[in-house]
Amino acid sequence: MQGRIFSGIQPTHGIHLGNYLGAIRHWVRLQGSYDCIYCIVDQHALTTLQDPQEMRRNTREAAAALVAAGVDPKRSILFVQSNVAAHSQLTWILSCVARMGWLNRMTQFKEKAGKDRENAPVGLFTYPVLMAADILVYKATHVPVGEDQKQHLELARDIAGSFNRRFGNELFPLPEPMILGEATRVMSLRDGTKKMSKSDPSDQSRINLTDDADAIALKFRRAKSDSILGITYDPEARPEASNLLTIYAALADRPRAEIEAEFAGTSFSEFKSRLADLAVEKLSPINAEMRRLQADPGYLDAILREGAERAAAIAGPVLKEAYELVGF
């Protein structure tokens, strides 16, 4: 194995096409070459989602989605963050190492807190410290990240370096970002300049892994288009066409330039219908497997329980080392 990967997904809402193309399909592929630890990060989700029923439902749906998409609980560790206490315990130590100024620079907090910063949960501000703990408590060496998380990973490296310098012993390896190829940023189908995200509940155009074939086809049919002839890649002038080309290439697992050449003379509506067919072909089996898994909650619970035990067995000794180094 080439190292240890940690990566997480928030159970804030249903898992969507952006999560699948930007993260999950890579998680599946990486299982052959790394020790993989995949986490449903409910503690991160609590910064924005404070509805217990929804939290529980989404957590289970995320587990089903990951297993259905090919995360193999035998090869990888799959678990829920709040089931392994070491994440929160290390967070406290790291929040005494991280500096206010470092966190003040995080752009995602500014975006998510909006104008009413005084009213933002403290956890939304310290979110990146918890993320650093998630990674460091396993001494993970590699972290697959989308564009949106790059700054947080930089911070995790700063925190690890600072801890190592202050308390010695080079306890934490500095985690490396992993670049995951194309489609690391899937945009909304109703506005090609905005990220497809769980965090925007008003966006009905988002393709969820729970969508059936008709819903997928309808969403692509309704996707925003422009009036320029043919399909070309030009993110500045044609964000929607470019986004759809990127999605097509990622789903087909082919280079974007090849797809662009193939559809250069095609009308927008014809391209959208071809893309819908491809998406249905790729996503339907995952959707069917998700339904099957969700009908058997005992099976998923057992996977998550075992995952938490395996995760705790790695995290516990690392936390113990950190405790000793700081003098606890």
* Binding positions for Na ion, rule: CB under 5 A: 148
Strands (E), the chain: 4-9, 35-40, 77-80, 142-144, 176-178
Query: For this structure, is 195 an active site residue?
Result: yes
Query: 11 a known binding residue?
Result: yes
Using CB under 6 A as the binding rule, whether residue 57 contacts ligand ADP is answered as no
Interaction pattern, residues 140-169, with ligand ADP; x per rule: CB under 6 A = -----xx-xx--------------------
Q: Give the one residue of 33, 107, 199, 204 binding ligand ADP; rule: CB under 6 A.
A: 199
User: Around Cβ 80, how many Cβ atoms within 10 Å?
Assistant: 21
The residue (of 169 and 199) whose beta carbon lies closer to ligand ADP is 199
Residue 211 Cα distances to 21, 113, 327, angstroms: 15, 30, 51
147 marked as binding residue: yes
Question: Measured from the CB atom, is 195 or 224 closer to ligand ADP?
Answer: 195
Please work out, in degrees rounded to the nearest 5, the angle formed at the alpha carbon of residue 57 by the alpha carbons of 311 and 138: 15
How many Å apart are CA 155 and CA 4, to the nearest integer? Answer: 19
Q: Is 282 among the catalytic positions?
A: no
Give the single-character DSSP code of 23: I
Q: Pick between residue 145 and residue 223 the one whose CB is nearest to ligand ADP.
A: 145
By rule CB under 6 A, what count of residues binds ligand ADP?
19
Q: CA 151 to CA 280: how far, in whole Å?
A: 34
Pick out residues in 6-45 that bind ligand ADP (CB under 6 A): 9-10, 12, 18-19, 22-23
The CB density around residue 50, as the number of other CB atoms within 10 Å, is 10
In 3D space, the residue among 130, 137, 176, 173 whose CA is nearest the CA of residue 153 turns out to be 176
320 assigned to active site: no
Binding residues for ATP: 10-12, 18-19, 146-148, 186, 195-199
Residue numbers at the binding site for ligand ADP (CB under 6 A): 9-10, 12, 18-19, 22-23, 145-146, 148-149, 184-186, 195-199
